[in-house]
Amino acid sequence: MRLLGLLLFLLTAPRGVLSQVQLQESGPGLVKPSQTLSLTFTVSGFSLTSYGVHWIRQAPGKGLEWVGAVWHDGSTSYNPTLKSRLSITRDTSKSQVYLTLNSLRAEDTAVYFCARDTGRGMVKSLTFQNEGVGSSVDQ
């Protein structure tokens, strides 16, 4: 329910409300089965050492699925169903977060989003805000 509220906020927020934080993903549009997906998320308006960053995906016709997160301290949390194939890292000097998903399967076809965590500092929460524009990956 919190996520639904977040999405409604993002869709209805006045233009200036989200303008301080910018998120942008980049990566290939098409990756074949068994290959590796690599996505880059560049942030501005906040520090990666102050906030965690989440990756989320949405398969065609499905709901949002949490993929994983890298926290303010550099530690990571992964969706257990993806853990063996997933790596999320960051480069604080470039303000970038990276997602690598190996051995792609048909069920990995999705739009991949990134989002800043709502918690600051010591807080590690599974709520997020300021979703970036999604990267669509189709096999």
- Which amino acid appears at position 139 of this protein? Q
Residue 139 lies in a domain: no
In the chain, the number of structural domains is: 1
Q: How confident is the model at residue 104 (pLDDT cuts 50, 70, 90)?
A: very high
Domain that holds residue 22: 2-133
State the Cα–Cα distance between residues 8 and 2, nearest whole angstrom.
10
- Confirm whether 68 is domain-assigned: yes
| 47 pLDDT higher than 90 | yes
CATH of residue 108's domain is 2.60.40.10
Domain membership of residue 44 (yes or no) is yes
Phi then psi for 105, rounded to 5 degrees? -120, 165
Residue 1: pLDDT band (50, 70, 90) is very low
pTM: 0.72
Residue 138 belongs to some domain of the structure = no
